[in-house]
Structure 1
Amino acid sequence: MKSKIPVILIFSRLIIGLVIIYLSLIKTENYQIIAVILLSIGLLTDIFDGIIARYLDISTQKLRRLDSTVDQLFFVSVGVATYIQCPVFFETNVYKIGILAGSEVLIYLVSFLKFRKEVATHSIGAKIWTLLLFGTLIQVILECQSLILFNLCFWVGLLTRAEIIAILLLLKKWTHDVPSVFHSIQLRKGKTIKKSKLFNS
Structure 2
Amino acid sequence: MKTVPYVLIALRFILAPIILLLAYFQGEESRFLLLTLMYFGLLTDIFDGIVARKVGVSSEKLRRLDSQTDLIFWLSLGFASYILNPELIKNEWKGVILTLIMEALCYLISIWKFGKETCTHAFLSKMWGLSLLITFTYLIGFQQAGWAFYLTVGLGFIAHIDVILIILFLPKWQYDVPSSYYAWRIRNGKQRRKSIFFN
TM-score computed with the length of structure 1 as normaliser: 0.96
Residue type at the aligned position of 2:6: V
Measured in 1, the distance between the counterparts of 2:157 and 2:55 equals 34
CA RMSD, aligned part only? 1.0
Structure 2 residue 25 is matched with structure 1 residue 42: no
Partner of 1:33: 32
Residue type at the aligned position of 1:156: L
Contact 1:179 1:195 in 2 (8 A): no
Partner of 1:127: 126
Partner of 1:190: 189
Contact 1:5 1:49 in 2 (8 A): yes
Structure 2 residue 103 is matched with structure 1 residue 104: yes
Partner of 2:139: 140
Partner of 1:161: 160
User: C-alpha displacement at 1:4, in angstroms?
Assistant: 1.0
The range that moved more, 26-35 or 144-153, is: 26-35
Measured in 2, the distance between the counterparts of 1:28 and 1:152 equals 26
Per-residue CA deviations over 1:132-191 (Å, capped at 9, x if unaligned) read: 011100110012221111111110110000000000000000000000111101110111
Structure 2, gaps ≥5 residues long: none
User: C-alpha displacement at 1:28, in angstroms?
Assistant: 5.5
| SS across alignment from 1:151 | helix
Measured in 2, the distance between the counterparts of 1:152 and 1:195 equals 29
User: C-alpha displacement at 1:126, in angstroms?
Assistant: 0.4
Residue type at the aligned position of 2:158: L
Partner of 2:148: 149
The total of aligned residue pairs comes to 199
User: C-alpha displacement at 1:95, in angstroms?
Assistant: 1.0
Residue type at the aligned position of 1:130: G
Residue type at the aligned position of 1:26: F
Give the 5 Å matches for 1:86-101: 86-101=85-100
Per-residue CA deviations over 1:44-63 (Å, capped at 9, x if unaligned) read: 00000000000101000110
Residue type at the aligned position of 1:56: V
Contact 2:128 2:159 in 1 (8 A): yes
Measured in 1, the distance between the counterparts of 2:154 and 2:116 equals 27
| SS across alignment from 2:138 | helix
Per-residue CA deviations over 1:77-112 (Å, capped at 9, x if unaligned) read: 111111111101110000110010010000000010
